[in-house]
Amino acid sequence: MAAPYDILIIGGGPGGYVAAIRSAQLGFKTAVVEREHLGGICLNWGCIPTKALLRTAEIYHYAEHAKDYGLKLEGKISYDPSAVVKRSRAVSGQLNGGVGFLMKKNKIDVIWGEATITKPGEVSVGKSKKQPMQPQHPQPKGTLGEGTYQAKHIIIASGARPRVLPGIEPDGKLIWTYFEAMVPPEFPKSLIVMGSGAIGIEFASFFRTMGCEVTVVELLPQILPVEDAEIAALARKRFEKQGIKIHTGTKVTKVEKGANEVTCTLEDGKGKTSTLKAERVISAVGVVGNTENLGLEKLGVKIDRGVIVIDEVGRTNVPGIYAIGDVAGPPMLAHKAEHEGTICVEAIKGLHPHAMDKLMIPGCTYCQPQVASVGLTEAKAKEQGLQLKIGRFPFIGNGKAIALGEPDGLVKTIFDAKTGKLLGAHMVGAEVTELIQGFVIAMNLETTEEDLMNSVFPHPTLSEMMHESVLDAYGKVIHT
């Protein structure tokens, strides 16, 4: 039996490895149990490699529209699907190796295998039952593997996996999850995407830009369901202008597989059915936390609707056991998991960290156009009975946006009319995923409308639209 650890973390994704590094910084003897790849889904199959794919699509888009910028590219613009995928995997591999380096640098033990909590303070690690997707990154050679390990504190950071609809199980060939969509041997000519959350829309945007005929099917009345309705509607118009077909208020009731195509049966909210054929289907109907096979039921750890129940610093109802990240509930975002990991470890140390306010967690979708938001939507703010002041500023009124050739988009800000408190900010357009953090910081600092109006924004920048949107909320907008 190995010497006891102060903190042992199950899962080496963004939440797990960040918690491990902060733990080591605070002087704890620390270990991470990982069954597949350091960096988790985010670095290996999610956030990072998808952004590499989307960057390729962005460059391809600009190459096809070079004449709009006064440039001439001779000959037909084309791409090599295998090279596109290879670049994405190389980006992922570089960061995966970087996490391994950080573990070594901070003297964190990496234990390879699958963990089960046998009792508070004890974890049994067995051979992983997980079959890694191909292509995969090699696991760093480690000295630790199967065995029993002791730890004063155990943090569960086991992440999530794609949700599967009954009767529409992905087969890896005709029906894909994000795993298969990330590494296709060739790009399909036609594609149906089930679900219009961030994952579904990002893949729809990527494959459409690369020339695929794309149809998105969403059960709810609007695409990007968590976003402000006005922003989602503007994004939809842009997607449809690009040629993406969108069905909202519609569900896929059946998928029939042929030799090299699928036939989906669709049903709208009025009971009307239709069929749609495509070469491939991507199932992007959400994710579900990995709570199974950890020994939680036996230990009596409380789970509610597939989510481990925690308090404001990650403690479960069983002393010495904690949970962070996707397995601890929405929003299922890497940056939320990282921050939760830091809070959890600092609480164990007795540093009394601030509890996380989930309303101040930004959400970003890296489609074309990008979508980003933080705080309350207009509908949610009205549900709370608040009196609002709402500002809007269009990209067409911004010099930098026009110079970039990106004049379509909107910045929207929502304030409490009584107090001037910034309640929410919502954006659609070029580079808004980089802009949103300005409003996140403003909300964390409890900035009022007066503070924002008195701030000087550099010219010419896209950020000036943030200023103008605030001015518009109070009848002081300049450039419209």
- Check pLDDT > 90 for residue 74: no
Give the number of other Cβ atoms within 10 Å of residue 153's Cβ. Answer: 22
> Is 100 buried (19+), middle (13-18) or exposed (0-12) by CB count in 10 A?
buried
Mean pLDDT of 118-145: 73
Mind listing the domains of the chain with CATH numbers? 5-161+288-358 (3.50.50.60), 175-285 (3.50.50.60), 369-473 (3.30.390.30)
What are the contacts of 166-175 at 24+ separation with CB within 8 A?
Answer: 167/254, 167/255, 168/194, 168/252, 168/254, 168/255, 168/283, 170/283, 171/257, 174/257, 174/260, 174/261, 174/262, 174/279, 174/280, 174/281, 175/255, 175/257, 175/262, 175/280, 175/281, 175/283
Catalytic: which of 37, 459, 467, 479?
459
Q: What is the pLDDT of residues 221-230, one digit of tens each?
A: 999 999 999 9
User: CA nearest 322: which of 304, 336, 343?
Assistant: 343
Contact assessment for residue 218 and residue 248, using Cβ atoms and an 8 Å cutoff: yes
Q: Residue 137's pLDDT is what?
A: 52
Beta strand 307-308 with 303-304 is antiparallel
Residue ranges of alpha helices (H) inside 39-135 are 40-45, 47-64, 81-105
Does the CA dihedral 447-449-454-459 come out positive or negative? positive
Mean pLDDT of 79-96: 95
Contact partners, residue 74, CB within 8 Å, separation at least 6? none
Q: What is the pLDDT of residues 189-203, one digit of tens each?
A: 999 999 999 999 999
Alpha-carbon distance of 68 to 248, in angstroms, equals 33
User: CA nearest 414: which of 386, 441, 453?
Assistant: 386
| Residue 459: active-site member | yes
Name the pTM for this structure. 0.94
How many residues make up the chain in this entry?
480
- Check pLDDT > 90 for residue 133: no
- Check pLDDT > 60 for residue 255: yes
Mean pLDDT of 392-396: 98
Give the number of other Cβ atoms within 10 Å of residue 279's Cβ. Answer: 18
Q: How would residue 131 be classed by pLDDT, with cut points 50, 70 and 90? A: low
- Check pLDDT > 90 for residue 145: no
Q: Residue 220's pLDDT is what?
A: 97
Token pair 């009319």 in the structure block, residue:
417
The interaxial angle of helices 81-105 and 14-25, nearest 10 deg, is 20
Q: Residue 271's pLDDT is what?
A: 84
Q: Residue 270's pLDDT is what?
A: 86
Q: What is the pLDDT of residues 298-329, one digit of tens each?
A: 999 999 999 999 999 999 999 999 999 999 99
Q: How would residue 155 be classed by pLDDT, with cut points 50, 70 and 90? A: very high
Q: Residue 134's pLDDT is what?
A: 47
